Each structure stands twice: as C-alpha cells, then as structure tokens.
Amino acid sequence: MRKLIERQKVGPVISGVEILGAVLIAGVLELLQAQILPGFLQPKWSLVFVLYIGWYSSAVKAAFCGTIFGLLEDFLLGLFFGLNGLSRTVLGYFVSWLSRWVATEGGIIRAACIAAFALLETFIILALLSILGTKLPAFVWWQELVKSIVTGIVGELVFRFYNAVRLPPSDFRQM
C-alpha cells in the first residue's frame, strides 16, 4: 500500500496586519463593484482572500478569517447575517487542509480550483437559502457560474500578484 506524502506549505507567512489590510481591501472592493459592475460580473473578493489565507496558513487561521470575511460581506451587502460567514469558514478550513495534499502553483489549474471553490460556496449558500424557504429564480445558477469563472480568473491574478510581491525571485548569482 502506498503511503501518501504530505506536501509542505510553501509561501509567505501571513501576518495579522496583512489580514486586516485584506479585510479592508475586500470591503472597499465589494462596495465599489456593487455600484459599478452588473451582479454576474462581480468577483467574490473576500472569498479570494480567504482562499489565499487558507492556502498559505493553518486551518484554524483560515477558518477564523473565513468567518470574519464572510460576516463582513453579509453586513456590507445586507444579506442574511451568517450565510457567507458559515460558508467561508467551511471553505477556509477545507482549502487549508487540501493545500497540504494538492499542488496548484499557478496557471489555469489554480484558476479552475478557485472557480470551483466559488461555485461550491454558491451551492452552500443557495442550499441554506432554500432551507430557510427563500424562492430562487431559475437563472441564478447561470449567473453564479459566470461569477465563479470571473472569481477564478481574478483570484489567479491576485495569487500571482501577491506571491510576486511577497516572494520576489532570488538572484543566486550573488552567492
């Protein structure tokens, strides 16, 4: 029987100041895009930051950040308080656990994973809304599919940008 090898987390150590900055940036971007873009083209900024934190930190930190980011989005957008908080907590924890076993260090695979997590979050939220008795329009799945693809593309760009800022390439010629 083959033994699974756990992948070591590589990447930047994410500090509390960076998390606070990400919360502020996500809040501002969520409010601005709500005024400018149509709903189906609005990426889920706070989800992207939760996925980034989950990918490069512990499961507890990712779950806690998922709760904070989700509750912030619920508050800012006037949604049922706690739906995004619950879904982002679960996804933050799951992504942190998954990052130990899966290597997606860029390109279309990471964008597809981010889009899949955005779609999974949508499924969780819509399932909770249907349990609460909310009637959902039939076209909501198409809108959320497009939004998940946009989130995947934007998420890949955020991951690349922040990794480039935090982990600049090393010049080994000077050693």
The predicted-structure confidence for 16-56, as pLDDT tens digits, reads as follows: 677 777 777 777 777 777 777 776 778 888 889 899 888 88
Angle at which helices 45-56 and 140-166 cross, to 10°: 50
153 half-sphere exposure, CB direction, 13 A CA radius: 8
Q: What is the predicted pLDDT for the residue at 7?
A: 47
Can you tell me whether residue 49 is helix, strand or coil? helix
| Neighbour-count burial of 115, counting CB atoms closer than 10 A to its CB (0-12 exposed, 13-18 middle, 19+ buried) | buried
Which tens digit of pLDDT belongs to each residue from 70-120? 888 788 777 777 888 889 899 999 998 888 777 767 678 888 989 999 999
Is residue 159 scored above 50 in pLDDT?
A: yes
Position with higher pLDDT, 168 vs 92:
92
Give the residue carrying structure tokens 């039939």: 138
Stretch among 92-101, 120-129, 159-168 having the lowest mean pLDDT: 159-168
